[in-house]
Structure 1
Amino acid sequence: MTKVKVETKRFDPADYVRSDEEAALYISDALAGGDPSEVAAAIGTVARARGASGLARATGISRAALYKGLSAEGNPTLATVLAVLKELGMTLKVEPEGRAA
């Protein structure tokens, strides 16, 4: 049997978040899931897609702190999340869950 070597490339969702609408849907989907690590990672993905260096300058948060806090292992403060979302041109919205009383 002949072995075939297959070259693979690391998948980065930041390469596929192109528009504001896609970014908002991506983050909203993570919020709907309710897992804080997924929310942080989704915001981090959008931050990378938009350019973390410029975002770091605009928010006053170091690029390293953004990468660390906005990862699946991170635990960003609410202040960080709000600052990053503001610079991304997004807001955090809260709605009733729609549970029956």
Structure 2
Amino acid sequence: MENDTFDIVEYLDSEETISEYLTVSFADPDPSVFLAALTDVVNARGATTVANKLGCDADNLSETLNSEANPSFQAVIGVLRAVGMELRFRPPKEDLTLG
């Protein structure tokens, strides 16, 4: 029996998908959900490539996005820019919270 595991990174293949994924995760009241989603996006874009854009190595980037490290807002914005995204604010069209 084959053990097929779901890997979201395989599905983060367009700007629209990534944008929606980050938007929904940001709506969760637990900040670690957004950081996990941002880590998924980094992995989809290539951690080494993203780290190079930020002037660090992939291990450093991984440590920065660890929810226990409590990354600064500036660090999160930098990573968003490095993966080709930006943070925007708008009134909610609907309830985006999970659960």
Q: TM-score category by the smaller chain? A: 0.7 to 0.9
Distance in 1 separating the partners of 2:6 and 2:66: 15
Decide which moves more: 18-27 or 78-87.
78-87
Question: 4+ residue runs of structure 1 moved beyond 4 angstroms?
Answer: 71-74
**Rg bigger for which structure?**
1
How much identity, in percent, do the aligned residues show?
34
Closer/same/farther in 2, CA of residues 41 and 35 from structure 1, 3 Å limit:
same
TM-score w.r.t. structure 1 length?
A: 0.78
Indicate the RMSD between aligned Cα atoms, in angstroms.
Answer: 2.0
Distance in 1 separating the partners of 2:30 and 2:69: 12
Residue 44 of structure 2: aligned partner? 49
Residue 60 of structure 2: aligned partner? 65
Distance in 2 separating the partners of 1:26 and 1:40: 12
Closer/same/farther in 2, CA of residues 11 and 69 from structure 1, 3 Å limit:
farther
The runs of 5 or more residues in structure 2 that have no matched partner are 94-99
**Number of equivalent positions:** 93
1:11 to 6, 11, 29: 6
Question: Per chain length, whose mean CA-contact separation is higher, i.e. which structure has more relative contact order (CA < 8 Å, sep 6+)?
Answer: 2
Residue 96 of structure 2: aligned partner? none
Contact 1:40 1:72 in 2 (8 A): yes
The runs of 5 or more residues in structure 1 that have no matched partner are 1-5
Offset of 1:56 from its aligned partner? 0.3
Contact 1:85 1:91 in 2 (8 A): yes
